[in-house]
Amino acid sequence: MARNCVARLAMALAASWAAAAPALAQATQTEEQERRGALLRNLPEWAAKRQFGQQTAAAPMAARSIGSYAKGCLAGASALAVDGQNWQVMRLSRNRNWGHPDLIRFLEGFARRAPGEAGWNGVLVGDISQPRGGPMLTGHASHQIGLDADLWLTPMPSRRLSNAERETMSATNVVRSDWMDVDPSVWTPNHTRIIRLAAKDDKVHRIFVNPAIKKALCREAGGDRAWLRTVRPMWGHNYHFHIRMGCPAGVGGCEEQDEPPEGDGCGAELDRWLAMQHKAIFGPKPPPGPKKPPPPPMSVDALPPMCREVLVAR
Ligand SMILES: [Zn+2]
């Protein structure tokens, strides 16, 4: 009984997540600013997302990813240039093109390989991290230590996008309207190639995509399947894919994630995800219970102690 309740709650949360996440990731500058303003009016001073969300420059310290992907911060960040030969950064007003220098170098190299190895002119880069990492005012639980990057599932056009286009243009939703497979009118073999290119890099420990995308990758991978282990199903992620690098070598304080389970992940686990997602979006909604207040925001104290130094470094 209790188990069933928990499952229903998870389902309800998942439904709101699945509905809200793409909208958040795709929000235009105006929508994003309204959301930030409303949040700031209600957030206590000690909230980590208030403190880190308002930082505008990197902490001038040696580069270091501190803590875990969803509870940590970033010292000595580098910014990805907003334009490269094979990439363009989107939503510049968010100022989230900051990452650990290892991730920034990886992204530059990856973008350069996109034309030759995936048939894309280049990549459109969404959120990486804030200048000092940490929790964000809007969107994302992770992206806190400069080792996560969202890449749009839209190939980079051959021209430079204007600032206005970068704020308002929407990425491509590649998932079919029943959320059980990709949409064949927008999905291409090059989508598989670009995700595979990232997944085959040893520095990339995980890639998150919608379960419907993983289904397509499983079908299209053919005999070369080891890379599929790196690609994990996740809510949302139907407009972009999410690259997660492992902790940089030789520096302590960065919490590595467990290895993904063995195997290509194309069997029972994927089926469960597809069924769970379908039920969350289309299934009967649980009867409305008493509304619980939202949990309090994460405080600066909840982060590793060194994140206080990162916050105040000048
Ligand atoms: Zn992401």
Question: If DSSP codes are grouped into helix, strand and coil, which group holds residue 282?
Answer: helix
Q: How far is the CA of 127 from the centre of ligand 1 (A)?
A: 7
Q: How far is the CA of 2 from the centre of ligand 1 (A)?
A: 32
- H or E element in which residue 306 lies: helix 306-312
Residue 314 CA to residue 298 CA, distance in Å, equals 24
pLDDT at 25: 67
Q: How far is the CA of 148 from the centre of ligand 1 (A)?
A: 6
Q: How far is the CA of 187 from the centre of ligand 1 (A)?
A: 20
Note the residue count of the chain. 314
Residue 169 CA to residue 110 CA, distance in Å, equals 23
Task: Answer yes or no: are the C-beta atoms of 22 and 213 closer than 8 Å.
Answer: no
Q: How far is the CA of 116 from the centre of ligand 1 (A)?
A: 25
pLDDT at 21: 44
Q: How far is the CA of 290 from the centre of ligand 1 (A)?
A: 32
Q: How far is the CA of 220 from the centre of ligand 1 (A)?
A: 24
pLDDT at 24: 61
Q: How far from each other are the two terminal CA atoms of the chain, in whole angstroms?
A: 54
- H or E element in which residue 230 lies: none
Q: How do residues 74-91 score in pLDDT, each as one tens digit?
A: 999 999 999 999 999 999
Q: How far is the CA of 26 from the centre of ligand 1 (A)?
A: 12
Q: How far is the CA of 96 from the centre of ligand 1 (A)?
A: 11
The token pair that represents 116 in the structure block: 């030759």
Q: How far is the CA of 242 from the centre of ligand 1 (A)?
A: 5
CA dihedral angle for residue 208, residue 301, residue 307, residue 140, rounded to 10 degrees: 20
Q: How far is the CA of 16 from the centre of ligand 1 (A)?
A: 17
The token pair that represents 64 in the structure block: 């270091």
Q: How do residues 16-27 score in pLDDT, each as one tens digit?
A: 444 344 446 678
DSSP string, 102-164: HHHHHHHHHHHHHHHHHS-S-EEE---B-TT-S--SSS-S---SS-EEEEEEEEPPSSPPPHH
What's the CATH architecture for 2-312?
A: 2-Layer Sandwich (3.30)
> What number of other Cβ atoms are within 10 A of residue 78's Cβ?
19
Chunked into runs of 10 residues, the chain (314 residues) has average pLDDT values of 39 41 67 84 90 96 97 98 98 96 98 98 98 90 96 97 96 97 98 98 97 98 97 97 95 93 96 97 88 89 97 96
pLDDT at 302: 96
Cα distances from 50 to residues 68, 134, 160, 222, in angstroms, run 19, 10, 33, 47
Phi/psi at 97 (5° precision) = -95, 35
Cα distances from 222 to residues 187, 213, 227, in angstroms, run 17, 15, 11
Sequence-ordered strand ranges (E) for the chain: 64-68, 71-75, 78-79, 83-84, 87-89, 98-99, 123-125, 148-155, 204-209, 231-233, 240-245
Q: How far is the CA of 1 from the centre of ligand 1 (A)?
A: 34
Residue 84 CA to residue 112 CA, distance in Å, equals 9
Q: Phi/psi zone of residue 302: left (φ > 0), alpha (ψ -120 to 50 degrees), beta?
A: alpha
pLDDT at 199: 98
Residue 62 CA to residue 271 CA, distance in Å, equals 44
pLDDT at 138: 82
Classify strands 231-233 and 204-209 as parallel, antiparallel or unpaired.
Answer: parallel
Residue 161 CA to residue 173 CA, distance in Å, equals 19
Q: How far is the CA of 311 from the centre of ligand 1 (A)?
A: 23
